[in-house]
Amino acid sequence: MIPKELAKKIRYIQIYTSRAVNESLAGEYESVFKGRGMEFDQVREYHIGDDIRSIDWNVTARTGEPHVKLFVEERELTVIFMVDLSASGSFGSTRKIKNEVAAELCALLAFSAIKNNDKVGLIVFTDQVEMFIPPAKGTTHVLRLIRELLGFKPKQTKTNISAGIEFMGRVITKRSVVFLISDFLEEAYEMKLRVLGKKHDLLAVSIADPREIKLPNVGLIELEDAETGEVILIDTGSKQVRKNYEKMGHTHQDNLKKMFRSMDIDQIEILTDRDYVVDLVKFFKMRERRRHR
């Protein structure tokens, strides 16, 4: 039996995200992702006017006649959500903590995917992979993903993005659309991320709380690192302390942007005090414009 409070939350997310998909996102999702994948169909003899880049040199060498590879548009895509649910995601100064926003984002994108007959899968990780749901279709499957995400209780507190990427590489061999959802408060995963981005259509969804970027003036406060348990005392009454904290927050965000840009990985920036539907639609419109340049 699903706890009453969890069932209520699942129902709310289903209604909210379904409305958002129907009103705002379904068309944007389809225009960006449909037709992106191509699969091999057959080889035939080269005809004048064929693109020489499609020549199959192995068959050409074997037969002595030039042959080209033909591809057809894939009828469906596989969408994988890689979700970081480590302890840092339990932080929240607004109505929702970061992990709740991550779950709702997955729900929204998953409903967009099944509306286009795509498969959806889920990998949840902390400093190890804690859950894997293989890709499948249908509303029942998506509701299971949402239920598992919302009711998930992580065994570990720390983060290891590389561990999630390595697992993804082992279990998902077909090129997929991958949404990597995290606050990216970790280091030393760049090399693995670059490899993942070359193999799949990777989108990095970075979630941040406004208090991770800017502190209010509320005097002395204790801040605890949810992943290590380290506690520090901060005097938010000090203008210099607030300024240094804000600079550190913006530096982290800027470094993320530079890293993703250097790897040619698209980034969707989400703040927990903003409407993420607006941010997603804005991103998809930008990606669609870039695709047609």
CA–CA dist 34, 167 (Å, integer): 26
Cβ atoms 64, 51 nearer than 8 A: no
Q: Read off the pLDDT of each residue in 116-141 and give the average, rounded to a whole number.
A: 94
Query: Quick one: 48 and 175 in the same domain?
Result: no
Q: Which stretch, 55-59, 116-120, 177-181, has highest mean pLDDT?
A: 177-181
Same domain? 138 vs 193? yes
Domain-embedded: residue 269: yes
Q: At a CB cut-off of 8 Å and minimum separation 6, what does 217 contact?
A: 236, 237, 242
124 shares its domain with 188: yes
pLDDT band at 139 (very low <50, low <70, confident <90, very high): confident
Give residue 46's domain range.
38-73
Same domain, 97 and 132: yes
> Positive or negative CA dihedral for 106, 153, 95, 3?
positive
Classify residue 80: in a domain, yes or no: yes
Angle, CA of 188, 153 and 267, to the nearest 5°:
40
In a domain, 243, yes or no: no
Rounded average pLDDT over 256-268: 95
Residue 201 is predicted with a pLDDT of 92
Task: Look at residue 37 and tell me whether its pLDDT is greater than 60.
Answer: no
Q: What is the DSSP code (8-state) at residue 22?
A: I
pLDDT at 238: 93
Residue 51 sits in the same domain as residue 187: no
pLDDT at 179: 97
In a domain, 119, yes or no: yes
- The mean predicted confidence, pLDDT, of the chain is 87
Residues 134 and 196 placed together within one structural domain of the fold: yes
Is 217 contained in some domain?
no
Query: Does 166 map to a domain?
Result: yes
Q: What is the CATH number of the domain that holds 196?
A: 3.40.50.410
Same domain, 51 and 85: no
**What is the band of 28 on the pLDDT scale with cuts at 50, 70, 90?**
confident
Does the pLDDT value for residue 22 go beyond 80?
no
- Predicted pLDDT of residue 271: 94
pLDDT band at 90 (very low <50, low <70, confident <90, very high): confident
**Are residue 110 and residue 170 in the same domain, yes or no?**
yes
How far apart are alpha carbons 251 and 213 in whole angstroms? 9
Q: Mean pLDDT over residues 182-197, rounded?
A: 93
203 or 224, higher pLDDT: 203
222 domain-assigned = no
What is the tens place of the pLDDT at every residue in 265-281?
Answer: 999 999 999 988 889 88
- Split at pLDDT 50, 70, 90, the class of 151 is confident
Residues 165 and 276 in one domain: yes
Mean pLDDT of 122-131: 97
Does the structure show a pLDDT above 60 at 72?
no
Q: Are residues 50 and 161 in the same domain?
A: no
Residue 204 lies in a domain: yes
The proportion of the chain whose per-residue pLDDT surpasses 90, expressed as a percent, equals 49
Residue 293 has pLDDT above 70, yes or no: no
Whether 92 and 100 have beta carbons less than 8 Å apart is answered as: yes
**69 with 134, same domain?**
no
| pLDDT, average across residues 63-80 | 80
Q: Under the phi-then-psi rule, with left for phi > 0, alpha for psi from -120 to 50, and beta for the rest, what region is 258? A: alpha
Angle between helices 98-115 and 276-291 (to 10 degrees): 50
Based on the fold, state whether residues 140 and 282 are members of the same structural domain.
yes
Stronger pLDDT, 284 or 75, i.e. the higher one: 284
- Tokens 């990998």 sit on residue: 123
Q: Which two tokens stand for residue 230?
A: 């380290």
Give how many domains the chain has, as a whole number: 2
